[in-house]
Amino acid sequence: MNNPTTPSPTLGPLTFQPLFRRALWGGTRLASLLNKDSGHLGDCSESWEIVDLDDDQSVVNAGPWSGWTLRQLVQEQGKALLGRHAPRDTFPLLLKFLDATRPLSLQVHPDATTAARHAPDCHSKTEAWIILATKPGSRLWVGLEPGTTSDQLTTALAENNIDCCVTSFEPAVGQCVVVPAGTIHAIGEGIVLAEIQQSSDTTYRLYDWGRTDSDGTPRRVDLQRGLEAIHFDAAPIVTSPPAPANPTQPVHIVDRREFQVVQHHISGSTSLNNDDRCRILTAIDGTGSLETNDDRIDLTTGQTVLIPAAVQAIRLDSSNGMTLLDCHLP
């Protein structure tokens, strides 16, 4: 894609056209709960809000930078966009919403060492889920039961008995679950969540509930690479309780070397100083507005705005209450 003409204005808040994904486990709740205009798809599984992968690019959909891809912004406006985290070749984070009407496959993402061993274009992927909706009986599978070996897991997968080896629980709305690279996991039926992750789409599927493709062919698994990627000696995953419904102060829900996530509840007006780093702000509940010296954006549930490092101060307003996720590098 050729670069559009560079605008004269400085880089301000950016909105992008979501990229919708379809899957056999997708549904309609990204439209009904998060206002996603997915073209009335009945199997919309994901809305990629911020993405910079080789074959998938967020494209600015409004303002003077309209038509620019995120990759172009990183490479040509790197300092203004990323601040103290520049220079980089690609944007380091990916944000998506996900709707699971049926369980996703049991899978694992490699850490950096394993990814590099498998292929030069593979990358590490640690992710965090913020639970937005569930149904009675919804479950997450995250991590192995203590002491589980590769042979035991292989046998359990072959016998369709994953619960003897993989830890599962019923998540609560508002809960945050961090899934480090190398952790086996699956998202269960009835869950809608926001996912922030390292910018990678490397996934090894180990088990898919006996499902087949449209032609009756069993869906492909990559058991060998998956087993190589799993951290069998990792400590059990520790889940956090849901953040308070209406906190008076920002709540730090993820603090890792890969990324941080802060949850803000806006009631009235508040300011956010942008300490020379890029932020992804996503409204997960309520409505409000975002203002800088030069721009104003009205926010609704499900909307995502990328705040470049060049934006020094942000004012957030909401008369009826609004909850925002603030995702950024440390």
pLDDT per position as a tens digit, 208-219: 998 887 788 888
Instruction: Let me know whether 57 and 165 are in one domain.
Output: yes
Spell out a b/e string for 184-220, using b for 16 or more CB atoms within 10 Å of the CB, else e.
Answer: bbbbbbbbbbbbbbbbbbbebbbbbeeeeeeeeeeee
Task: Please list, in sequence order, all residues whose beta carbon lies within 8 angstroms of the beta carbon of residue 81, skipping any fewer than 6 positions away.
Answer: 11, 73, 74, 278, 308, 309, 310
CA–centroid distance for 218 within its chain: 28
Query: Rounded mean pLDDT of the chain?
Result: 94
pLDDT per position as a tens digit, 230-253: 999 998 888 888 877 777 799 999
Give yes or no for a contact between 263 and 246, defined as CB atoms under 8 angstroms apart: no
pLDDT per position as a tens digit, 118-135: 887 788 999 999 999 999
pLDDT at 1 over 60: no
Residue (of 97, 87, 34, 24) closest to 327 by Cα position:
97
Query: Is 84 inside any structural domain?
Result: yes
Range of the domain at 47: 19-229
Instruction: Let me know whether 200 and 60 are in one domain.
Output: yes
pLDDT of residue 133: 98
Between CA 34 and CA 316 the distance in angstroms is 20
pLDDT per position as a tens digit, 281-300: 999 999 999 999 889 999 99
pLDDT per position as a tens digit, 11-30: 999 999 999 999 989 999 99
Query: Is 192 inside any structural domain?
Result: yes
pLDDT per position as a tens digit, 161-206: 999 999 999 999 999 999 999 999 999 999 999 999 999 999 999 9
Cα atoms in the 13 Å half-sphere on the side-chain side of 101? 14
Q: Domain holding 314: CATH number?
A: 2.60.120.10
Rounded average pLDDT over 260-278? 94
Query: Is 13 inside any structural domain?
Result: no
pLDDT per position as a tens digit, 28-66: 999 999 999 987 788 999 999 999 999 999 999 999 999
pLDDT at 324 over 80: yes
Give yes or no for a contact between 191 and 154, defined as CB atoms under 8 angstroms apart: no
Instruction: Let me know whether 41 and 91 are in one domain.
Output: yes
Query: Is 302 inside any structural domain?
Result: yes
pLDDT of residue 32: 95
Instruction: Let me know whether 210 and 272 are in one domain.
Output: no
Query: Is 70 inside any structural domain?
Result: yes
- The total number of structural domains that make up the chain: 2
Instruction: Let me know whether 199 and 278 are in one domain.
Output: no
Instruction: Let me know whether 208 and 316 are in one domain.
Output: no
Instruction: Let me know whether 191 and 294 are in one domain.
Output: no
Global confidence as pTM: 0.94
Query: Is 89 inside any structural domain?
Result: yes
Query: Is 14 inside any structural domain?
Result: no
Query: Is 242 inside any structural domain?
Result: no
Between CA 237 and CA 127 the distance in angstroms is 13
